[in-house]
Structure 1
């Protein structure tokens, strides 16, 4: 009986590895068709680093979470099998992805400076932009999960940003994100109406301030790095 149980547990862990590894390989293949293998592998690696930030943060708060799953040209996600207890926990998990992901992009930037590699410079730019994009303040973006701890009404700022991004770079992904964000935007517009929701978003002013400063600081840093690296990228 015990040996059967251990075998099932090993099979479950192997299944998670196969899902993550398999979907990563599919994503690398899809991106490689457009950008070549070296860039594709590096870009998917940066997405993995971002998602592992969420994964580790969720585990550190005692939540059961699935391994990352990748979809080409959409990104990746981790499945939270246990939902956060409060807005602060959700913000903590949300912030971990862009924060750890930014360190991954910084590592590419440092190596690009040391080696003069245009590939690493391009990956650094993509990493910075990827994490900045995820800071859009509306759920299901990470920014929506972070700003909720400050005030859910900040999601209303994310709506015009999504519209502006769509007109700048039209993409079906932005339409999908807008559809997913719509219920949260309605919630933000109507305001908190139930005692349960009020309790979920009840956070002390020190916590709100800390997350607000960290969010704004990270967004500003990523925006500056994107601007700086965009002018350095090779053309043609």
Structure 2
């Protein structure tokens, strides 16, 4: 199935510091590409893969699960680790969960973590109904386009496949259990008003990770897809500063220093 225009993966060969960007559930690299291009323009090596089942049609996603999505970013991390001296992982929404799982499992290979509106739990009655409901109902209403900025548009599915949603629920349980294994420096940015993921998820992450170097930033002017919203530039700037602080020669070839 052809990839939707604009949803293609993004890869930029830069310096010896690499950044892996993980997009969200039913979304695509389009929601993260401006962020990736910003980091690439500063000399970083950037990998933004397209998760299996995403960026085409929701029927394709129905055939995938969390193991496929995680395997995709795990492979991308390995490729960056071979290419770069230091690697950072970043994620939006479910991509934040994927980034945190990577951090928990690859503590020596990941220098820092940046998450934006991370999702680590399915909330409400749907959390209890999913195991049975997915056998009766194939899809529910999509969650794309939660953007405050006028004209903001996210390339994402207008339907959520329930088999995939149930698999995401399993991923969240694994990530939640592994949060104490996250020890890297962490930058968490969350929107004050988010109609997809409640503040509880960010609070859960902050309360359970073992990182000593933690910073939280509240985004006052954006909704869930903050990387395409009013606070996008701040996200880009703060993440670049975070990388530069931990890898002082980021953007340069021939060594990262520090």
TM-score normalised by the chain length of structure 2: 0.32
Please say which structure displays the higher CA radius of gyration: 1
- The structure carrying a bigger strand percent of its residues is 2
Q: Which has the higher contact order (CA 8 A, sep 6+)?
A: 2
TM-score normalised by the chain length of structure 1: 0.34
